[in-house]
Structures are given as structure tokens and as C-alpha cells.
Structure 1
Amino acid sequence: MDLTMSCSSLFLFFLLFFFISLHIHFLVPASGYFQPYQDCVPYDCGDQQISYPFRHKEQPNHCGYPGYELGCDGDNLTLSMMSLEYRVIHMDRGAQVLEVARTDLWEDICLHIYVDTTLNFSLFSYTSSDLNSTLLYNCDYSPTPQPYSFSCPGSRKGFFVPPGDPATPAPGVCKSSVLVPISPEALRLLLSTFPGSSSSANISEVLRKGFEITWIADTSQCKKCNESGGRCGYGWTRQEFNCFCHDGVYSTTCDRQGKPGILGTKAIIGIAAATGAAIVIVLILMLSFGKKQMIRRIMALIKQRSEHFDGEWKIKGLISSRRYTYKDIKRMTNSFTEKLGQGGYGCVYKGKLQDGRPVAVKLLKKLKGNAEEFFNEVVSISRTSHVNVVSLLGFCFEGNKRALVYEFMPNGSLDKFIFDKNNTLEVDQLLSWDTLYQISLGIAHGLEYLHRGCNTRILHFDIKPHNILLDANYCPKISDFGLAKICPREESIVSLVGVRGTNGYIAPEFIIRKIGGVSHKSDVYSYGMMVLEMVSRRKNIEVIVDRPSEIYFPHWVHRRLELREELGLRGITNEEDKVNAKKMIVIGLWCIQIDPRARPCMTQVVEMLKGSVDALEIPPEPSLSSPSRYLTACPCEFVFARE
């Protein structure tokens, strides 16, 4: 009898496992098969519309051709490409032409980062009508005849050199130059309306005319799909065109003549009903035998498998990046030959894509539980598109093999520049005070975007120098979203279990809950601590050797400011350096106020960095003893209620 019971239980176990596997592998994916038609509704942005081959950045990747992602800033379409953002002025679908202009030059030609206009030529190309112009910055030369000149705060004269203008300064006369294509219409405006004008506003008006680029993706199949009532997409089943219809996914049109990509509705409903009924029957039978312990084990197994597939579909529905196999990862890194860095998460290796582009591949260690940090990073960063947020190019999710493929940052992370004591002279030469200021401003822009620029608010919770990457031009990019939290924009306080972050940068409200809830102001605190480290070029918690009683840099620098003493900071050579250093210090001290309400939001941080140093008040010393003092002192407290 015991043997019969044991065999029956074993049989029932395998029968249940079979149906559970069938349910997870077949039914669960099927539940998403009809979603693409709903996912890929054309997205209206002002008087323009985002539809195939493009997709809105919040839509799943199968709604557009790979790489064709657009954002919507108010009523304006935006395109991010090669570390730059462009405003889409006009879209001509018939000719497959976009008229675009650089957003960093839209309002002001005084750039913070000098980057040439470069296209991703696997996706776009210039048109034959585009003309090359040049912006020259920090020049010690005034050519004759004098071209269009302009001035930027804190720098020498700049010049705009139109196409074909012979009055270009000799090499080395201007410290920086930026290539910007313009249209024939823009050139005509320049020559007819502003001949010889030296107004930066006039030059900005010319650059706002933009230039044209063509997209390469083939859209010939999309017309038939749309005419049959479908919506166009790409890569749902394989790397090919898809026509999403009410009842499924087809290869060409919704007229059922195309090759079907999925099962019909009735078949899926039938399988769902049969699988559900079988599971209920088997559970009842097992309960009748009193095998509760076995049921608990099976349910634990079901939960584990369900979490794995939940992760699969969470990624499938939300990301825009390419999925690689582990074999692909090994190939692109040459079997993990060149290590760039290592941390608690795993190792980072240098790699190369098939088109020759260098990449950084983060190979994660074996992850706990349902790999929450991996999903966090993939899902969070896939919702972003900003010049100061690192781009995720792809990922690997294969069994227990997890890897993330990022754009390669030649200058690595910020920490090696501000904490490296072995190469002081070289570090000082590389990171001038102007560069440090521009880096702090770029990070502020990136955090402002994460907190306010997305449809969902992304809280990073691990801002520190190690997670700020620098490209070839020292443009900062926020990375490592493993601890990030995604929440609706209207939410101010978030619910978290445990402490998130790194010691030295964790906001006090994580530890002392009575001072306030965890919110986007927690990122502001981490940002402030990091900025103060950039100023001091050392960790805030290090002991000051000649002042052993003052082990906390923020307290030390605050006392110096109150007494109007010299700060003795390294590398300051002129008045502009002093202004940049003081701005960073004062803003950093505002950001690390103990009470979250006393800290500025990132939008205000950006405004303070761009504003006059004379308008900045010295904040009270961060303290737990007298919250009322610094609450009344905060110059922007009443704005917080509207965030």
C-alpha cells in the first residue's frame, strides 16, 4: 500500500509539474501576444506623430525598427544619438527625411561640452543639401574679414564660420571647434538677413533652422499592414517585420494570407482552460492523499519558475535594447580578455560590437533571489534617453548568466580623477575647475531628467563618483541603476524595505525615519556629498591630518565659509576658478541638509549652478539639533509642494 501511495504521489508530482511547465512556457507568453497591437498605438506629440519605423521611448522595443527611438518634450519630438539630443522640426515620411536641430544649440550657442555633430550611420545619413559650418570657441585671433562673432560668459571670443567662408583662424588659435551642419535655407537667412552680424541671438536663429537626415530602415511593408487594419512592428518573434493585428501577429498583413506568428484566440483559451482545470484536479487529488509537504515544495518550485518567467516578460515588454546570448558576450569581449574594473556586482570588460564600436560589458556575479537588481537596471535605464545618462546597448539573460552591454566611456569613472593621490599633477591638469564645474552641472541635468523628465520618476539611490562615467570629452553620464526605484511622477514619498546606497552617500532619512520620508531628495543628498568630494578631491569621511578634531569635510569647509577664510583648494588660478569652487561648495552644502525639505530639488540645483554666485546664501551647518533654523533659511522651500 505504501509503495502504491508513493508511486501515485510520484506520478501526480510529475503530472502536476508537466501541466505547470505547459502553463508557464505556453500560456503565460500567450497572454502577451495580443498586447503588441495595444502597445504600438501611434503616439501624438504636438502636431507630429510617432509611428513605425519610430517608436516612443516609453513603448516596447517591438513597436519600432531597432535604434529608432523618439522622445516627446512638451510638444516637441526629440531624437538622441551619439551622446547628443536633437529636436525634430519636421518629419517627411514619404521621403524618409527628418529635419533636426541640436537641442544644446537651440537657445544658446555657448556650449558647455564641445562635441562635433556625428550621426549613427547604421541608422541615418546626411542629405546632399546639408552644408558644414563651424563654431569656434576661446579664440585669441580675429580674422579679417571678420566672420560672425559672439561672446560666452567666462571665455574669450567665439566665431561662427559659415560654409565656404575663407576667414578661418589658423590651427591652434581657437581652443575648441564644433562642426554643425546647416541647411541651404539657414545659409540664405544668414547671408540675406544677418550679413556680417555679430549677434549670438542671430546665429542661434540660423542654427535653429536645422539640417536634414534620412533614415535607412525599409518601410515599404508597413503600408500594406496599415491598410489591412494592423500596426507595424519589428522583432516580436524574429529579427524581421511584423504586422500586429487584433487577433495575433502576422508576417505581412491582417488578411490571414500572411504567415501567422502565433496561435489563435480560441486555441489559447482552450489551452488555458484545460491547463487550469488539470492543475486544480491534480491539487485536489494530492490534498486527498494528505501530501501537504510535497505540495509546499511544488508550490515553491512553481514560484521560482514563475519569478524567472516574470522577469523574462518584464524585460520583453519594457526594454529597447538588444538581447545577446552568452556566446555573443564571450565573442565581443574576446573571452573576457581586457578587464576595465571590478566591484561587488561583478566585473566590467572592454568589448567590441560587430560594427567596430567599443563597448563596456558588465558581467554580473550569481545573483540572489529573482535577480531584482538586474531587472531594475535593465528596465530603469531602458526608459531613459539623455546625454547625461549612460546608454544601455544590450543585455544577456541566459540561465544564471547575466550581462549588461553599455556604451564605452574612454575616461572611466569620476572616482579615479578625484581620489587618485598617486598622480596628483596629471589629475589637476586633466580636471580643471571649469571641467569639474561642467561635470557637476551635467550630473545635475541627468538627475533632473530622471526625477522630472520621464513619464515615470526614476530614483537612483546610489549616486557616487564610482557611478559617474566620463566620455572622451569628460561629459558625465549617470550609470549603475541596480538600486533604482521607478515610481509615478506624482509620488513624493516612496516605500522601501531596508537601506539603499553606499556608506558616505546614504541620505539620513534612510536611517532616521522621523526626519522625513525617502524621496527624490535622497538622490539630492548623495549628489551634494559627491560634489563636496569633487571640490576637496578626497572622500568626505577621511581625517584631515593637520586638524584631527575635524574629520568631516563639510563641517570644515562650512566653518571656513562662515569665517570668510581662504579654502586652500588645489589648482585655483584665477577668479573664475574661485567662483566655480564656491558655487559647488555652497550648493553641495544646501544639498546635504539633514531635513529633506531643506534641500533643493535638482531643477533648483541646475538653476543655482547656472546663476550668479552672489545670489547664493550660505546654508546653515547640517545638523540634527535645530531643523527650524535651516527650514526657514532655505530660499526655495515653498516650491517643494508643487513637485
Structure 2
Amino acid sequence: MHICFEMGISYFFLFVVFAVGLGEGQNGCDELRCGGGGPAIRFPFRLNSQPHHCGWPGFNLSCTDTKHTVLELPTSLKFFVKKIDYISQVIEIHDPHHCFPRQLRQLNLSSSTTFRFEEEFYMMDYALFNCSSTETQTDYAISCLSGPSHEVRAFFKDDDITDLPIASCKKMYTLPSIPISFETLILKGQYTVSKEIGGDKTLQLKWSRPVCRECEVKGMGCRLRSNSNESETECFPKHAKGIILGSFLLVVAVFALYRLYSYDKAEKQNQAKIKTFLEDYKNFKPTRFSYADIKRITNQFVEKLGEGAYGTVFKGKLSNEIYVAVKMILNASKENGEEFINEVGTMGRIHQVNIVRLVGFCADGFRRALVYEFSPNYSLDKFISSADTKNRFLGWNKLQDIAIGIAKGIDYLHEGCDQQILHFDIKPHNVLLDENFNPKISDFGLAKLCSKDKSAVSMTTARGTMGYIAPEVFSRNFGNVSYKSDIYSFGILLLEVVGGRKNVDITANNTNQVVYFPEWIYNFLDQKEDLRVFIEDDEDAEIAKKLAIIGLWCIQWHPANRPSMKVVIQMLEGGHELTMPPNPFASTNPTRLKLNQELDVIQEQE
């Protein structure tokens, strides 16, 4: 490492000498602009006044007398350029005549190998009709194509247009292969999906070749490779005309070299592991997004929903009506990509109403993200952790429905997939609630795929959140790790729902006496006493009692004494009275697991 660093310093000084010797720009290919406020023009774009080698074929720009930057597409359409993002390889344009629907008729990007719509997820055909203005329906009128005596209206090509007054309407033409997110543009003559710049609606196009983002990220220039028979590109160091910014540039370069050669080797292995996984994952349904897509979806990470140990969750928007939650995975994670691979690999196999749906993912260099359906009511812990806040209490019938939904989701993981999936982190924080407060299990970073024909699971380390981890996950003295470990965590969750508090130690009247929370609930039930929660009538009291008894059955110390999740669902949905389970806290039982007790870690099974 030290030798590499010294070599890097030597090469840097050689580069400084070489850069000073060059002095001038690259054969007249300096970065230019059409006026002070226009976008920077550099390779692969070139102004028509520059030599042809300064740009890529089809990327020619020109300047108007009013200092606007103009892009001319192969179909002779001309657009004003508002912005060029060289890293994301996206160009933002707007129609100088303020009528995109007219331009879209000739905007046949399928005939061009240069640009594509930035959004290619869902493409639709639209049919345009010229109708008499005597009709009152104007919901689908395109204002910039309509006149005093007629209205031009647009419909999805495959839609039922029986409501259209055929006698007064005549089909004009079809707009093929338009992204569905352009619906507002087509149907109402304006484009509101993209952001507004200077009052004009804009459209974003992307290019895939040439690829210069690597050069841009490194702060280097990009150009055509001179000694290649094909149109290939290469990076080259940028330089100023005259004197290099001596000491400052040296400090920056030394710092960059230090960062380069001190790069964590484990992260490189992590990158290779994720790359291999994604190659094997191509046939699954979730969409793969680029980092530029993620920034656009989250509007540059404006609205943060939450933050955890392994990442931050932001609210995002795929379209006008589709919201998502984007979890950005911390690059500093010590799990070598295992959590990311676990979550993407596991979620791609799951399709169940009580499991959060994975919309897509991003694995763009060291940047990794997971895109989920959005749950507007956030997580269950927001509604059970404050027993004194009655306006956040959901009611016992709704809490019972939520418990049943969670149980069905866990049962699907255990029995409904080709391989058994153990979650290992069932807790209220990982149960999201949709607009109707239906529960959805999330966060599969610790999940493990297992064969259904095995009763025990091989593990090298304990996994989960303290307070919800089954005792056998810590020590074999309590039994083998299996699907019963998730049932223990579910039992703790039920007891939290009943008690309206977190699973932590609580203090009795004697401040020196500490009482274990599940044992506290067991003692109240065993002594036929009230649980001291929101009980409004006898029916509510029965529901609270039922949830508590089922929770106590689920947290029996020995896995063999816990019911399966199918039995738990029957108990939750049944109307008959349940029997109290054996006391898991009796002194005759094996040594009780304390929250702070040191236990041997389970070793890998052969």
C-alpha cells in the first residue's frame, strides 16, 4: 500500500509536467456556451462552429440570435436546450413553439440511435381526433392544437371511445410509443411530469452512447480515441491555459490518491459479489434503476421518512399517482452486501398482500438502494408505543385484524414459497401500514432461505433485534433454530400491542425491583386481573386477553412448545376461549434468558 502511494505521487508529478507542457486547449475543442446562462457545451456535444472531432455524430448544437442553445434531431425537429447532465447523460429540452403534442408526431426516436425517452417503463399509443367545438366535453382537448371552430382531443389508442361523438369527430393520426407518464402532456396539451424551467414545460431525453460519465465523475475530459478505427472514447486530463494551480491542485490530487489506495478491500469484494448476484437475478420482476433514476424519483432526496442502522428511507414518486419509499443503503455497512442481496433476492420471490412489494432496486457502483411500495401510515410501532396517547389508538378490532394480517404474512414466508423464508427481525418497526391500516412485513435484510424438509437452520451468528430474538438463536440449550424463531418474535410483538409499550424492563412500585415485561403480563392474566389498557367494553377486553394469551404461547422458551403459524391464525380467528399456556417464567424451567446475558454463539452446522 505504501509503495503504491509513493508511485501514485510520482505519476502525479509526471502528470503536472505533462499538463504544463500542453498549455493550450485540445485542438480548438474548448467548452463553450450560447450566452452566459446557457448550458455548457462539451463532448459529446459540439457547436456547429467547432471541428467535427469535437463531438459525437448526431450531437450537433447551434446558437440562435437570441443566445438560445438549439438541438436538431434527425427528423429536422428543433428544440431549445435548457440543461445537459453529462453524468446522468440526460439532456433537457423544451419546444420553442410551446406545443409538444405537435412536435411529438414527428418525434420518432425509434429511428434514431442517438436519443431515447428517459422514461421507457410503460409505452402507450395515443389517437388524436379533430372534433366540432359545439360539443361541451373538453376534458381531453389539446389547447395548442385546437382553434375557435374545432377541438383536437387525444385518447389512449386501445381505450373504449364509445363516448366520443363520432359524427363530429374525425381521426387525425396516431402518436405511437409515448411514455405513459406523458399522459398530461397528450391529453391536456401541457407537460407537468418534468420540472418547469423559466415557465416552459420541459422534456428529458437520454443517450446511451458515447459513455463519458466515468470521465465526468473523475473530473476529466472525454474525447474520441484518435488511434481507433471505431468510434471509441477515452478520458484525458483537463488543463488550463498557462499555469497549473500548483499547491492547491497538488493537495487535491494527493488526497484523491490517498483515498484511492486506502479504499477498503472488503468493499471491492462486496462490489464483485453484488455484480455476480445481479447477473443471476436478471429474470426476476423488480426493475433495476440507475442512481440518476433514484435522484429523479426522490426529487434529489428531499423528503426523509426515517433512518436506521443500515440506511435512510426517502419518499419518492414514480408518477403523478404512484408513490414509493426509497431505502438508500449505507456504503459503510459492515455486512459486505449480504443484507442488500438478501433483501433483493428474497423480496423478488414474494407476492403476498401482507408482504411489502419490492418495486425495484439500484446497484450503481457503490450506490445501492431498494424501492418499495409506499405505506402512508408508516410503521406499527408509531401506534403502540404510546399507551397514553389515545388519539393514536387504533381500536381492538383493528389491532386484531393487523395481528391476523401479520400472522398470514409470516405463514406465507414459512409455507407459501418454494423455499422456506425465515425473517429473523419481526418487530413493530418492520410492519408497515397502508392507507387502510393493512399490515405489510418489511425489511428482509436478515432473512434466510431454508429448505422446507429441514427442521433446524444452520447459522454462524445470532441475528435480529435485542428483545425480539428467540432464545435458541443465542444458545443451543433452548433447542434448534427454525421457523419457530419467527413465532417467538411475533409473540413479543403481540404482547407489545396488548401492553401498549416496548418490550423493555419495567419498574414495579419498589424502584429496586425490575420486572420482565412478558412475565408482567403473564402474572396479570394468571391472577385474573385487568391489563390496565384501553378497554371500553367486554368485547374489547376479550380481544386484548386473546392477543395476550396467544403471545404467551408464542414465546415459550422451548421451540417445540410454540404453535405453528397456521395454528396461531386459527387461534386469532377463532371465537372460543383459549387456555393459558404453561408458565415460561417458572423457576422450575431452565435458566431464563436475560436481556444482558452473555451466551455462546451458535456455530455453523455441517
TM normalised by structure 2 equals 0.52
Shift of residue 381, structure 1, vs aligned partner: 1.0
In the alignment, what sits opposite 1:343? Answer: 308
Q: Distance in 2 between matches of 1:394 and 1:308?
A: 15
Q: Distance in 2 between matches of 1:588 and 1:546?
A: 25
In the alignment, is the contact (CA less than 8 A) between 2:270 and 2:337 conserved in 1?
A: no
Distance 1:599 1:418, change over 3 A: same
Distance 1:361 1:623, change over 3 A: farther
State the one-letter code of the partner of 2:551. G
In the alignment, what sits opposite 2:255? Answer: none
* Gap regions ≥5 residues in structure 1: 1-64, 68-121, 129-298, 629-643
Q: Aligned pair 1:560/2:524, yes or no?
A: yes
Q: Distance in 2 between matches of 1:304 and 1:442?
A: 36
In the alignment, what sits opposite 2:378? Answer: 412
Q: Distance in 2 between matches of 1:499 and 1:592?
A: 18
In the alignment, is the contact (CA less than 8 A) between 1:321 and 1:392 conserved in 2?
A: yes
In the alignment, what sits opposite 1:199? Answer: none
In the alignment, what sits opposite 1:362? Answer: 327
In the alignment, what sits opposite 2:501? Answer: 538
Distance 1:624 1:352, change over 3 A: farther
In the alignment, is the contact (CA less than 8 A) between 1:493 and 1:519 conserved in 2?
A: yes
Distance 1:302 1:564, change over 3 A: closer
User: 2:483 aligned to 520, 524, 533, which one?
Assistant: 520
In the alignment, is the contact (CA less than 8 A) between 2:557 and 2:584 conserved in 1?
A: no
Shift of residue 300, structure 1, vs aligned partner: 9.3
Q: Distance in 2 between matches of 1:566 and 1:415?
A: 23
State the one-letter code of the partner of 1:596. P
In the alignment, is the contact (CA less than 8 A) between 1:439 and 1:474 conserved in 2?
A: yes
Q: Distance in 2 between matches of 1:573 and 1:373?
A: 43
Q: For residues 603-622 of structure 1, what are the structure 2 equivalents within 5 Å?
A: 603-622=566-585
In the alignment, is the contact (CA less than 8 A) between 1:543 and 1:552 conserved in 2?
A: yes
Q: Secondary structure at the match of 2:368?
A: strand
Q: Distance in 2 between matches of 1:459 and 1:126?
A: 47
Q: Distance in 1 between matches of 2:312 and 2:266?
A: 31
Q: Distance in 2 between matches of 1:455 and 1:403?
A: 26
In the alignment, is the contact (CA less than 8 A) between 1:363 and 1:403 conserved in 2?
A: yes
In the alignment, what sits opposite 1:484? Answer: 447
Distance 1:127 1:532, change over 3 A: farther
- Normalized per residue, the structure richer in helix is 1
Identity %: 47
Distance 1:452 1:547, change over 3 A: farther
Shift of residue 302, structure 1, vs aligned partner: 9.3
Q: Secondary structure at the match of 1:510?
A: helix
Distance 1:551 1:314, change over 3 A: farther
TM normalised by structure 1 equals 0.49
Q: Secondary structure at the match of 2:536?
A: coil
Q: Aligned pair 1:597/2:563, yes or no?
A: no
Q: For residues 430-579 of structure 1, what are the structure 2 equivalents within 5 Å?
A: 431-546=394-509, 548=511, 549-569=513-533, 571-579=534-542
Q: Distance in 2 between matches of 1:442 and 1:369?
A: 31
Q: Distance in 2 between matches of 1:558 and 1:545?
A: 15
Q: Secondary structure at the match of 2:324?
A: strand
Q: Aligned pair 1:329/2:294, yes or no?
A: yes
In the alignment, what sits opposite 1:254? Answer: none
In the alignment, what sits opposite 1:244? Answer: none
In the alignment, what sits opposite 1:214? Answer: none
Q: Per-residue CA shift, 1:63-117, capped at 9, x if unaligned?
A: xx999xxxxxxxxxxxxxxxxxxxxxxxxxxxxxxxxxxxxxxxxxxxxxxxxxx
Q: Aligned pair 1:391/2:354, yes or no?
A: no
Shift of residue 459, structure 1, vs aligned partner: 0.2
Shift of residue 567, structure 1, vs aligned partner: 2.1
Q: Secondary structure at the match of 1:577?
A: helix
Q: Distance in 2 between matches of 1:567 and 1:127?
A: 61
In the alignment, what sits opposite 1:316? Answer: 282
* Gap regions ≥5 residues in structure 2: 1-119, 123-155, 163-264, 592-606
Shift of residue 438, structure 1, vs aligned partner: 0.9
Distance 1:351 1:560, change over 3 A: same
In the alignment, what sits opposite 1:587? Answer: 550
Shift of residue 324, structure 1, vs aligned partner: 0.5
Count matched residues.
336
In the alignment, is the contact (CA less than 8 A) between 1:550 and 1:556 conserved in 2?
A: no
Q: For residues 619-630 of structure 1, what are the structure 2 equivalents within 5 Å?
A: 619-622=582-585, 625-626=588-589
Shift of residue 613, structure 1, vs aligned partner: 4.1
In the alignment, is the contact (CA less than 8 A) between 1:595 and 1:627 conserved in 2?
A: no
In the alignment, is the contact (CA less than 8 A) between 1:524 and 1:592 conserved in 2?
A: yes
State the one-letter code of the partner of 1:337. V
Q: For residues 152-191 of structure 1, what are the structure 2 equivalents within 5 Å?
A: none
In the alignment, is the contact (CA less than 8 A) between 1:594 and 1:623 conserved in 2?
A: no
Shift of residue 578, structure 1, vs aligned partner: 1.0
Distance 1:300 1:617, change over 3 A: closer
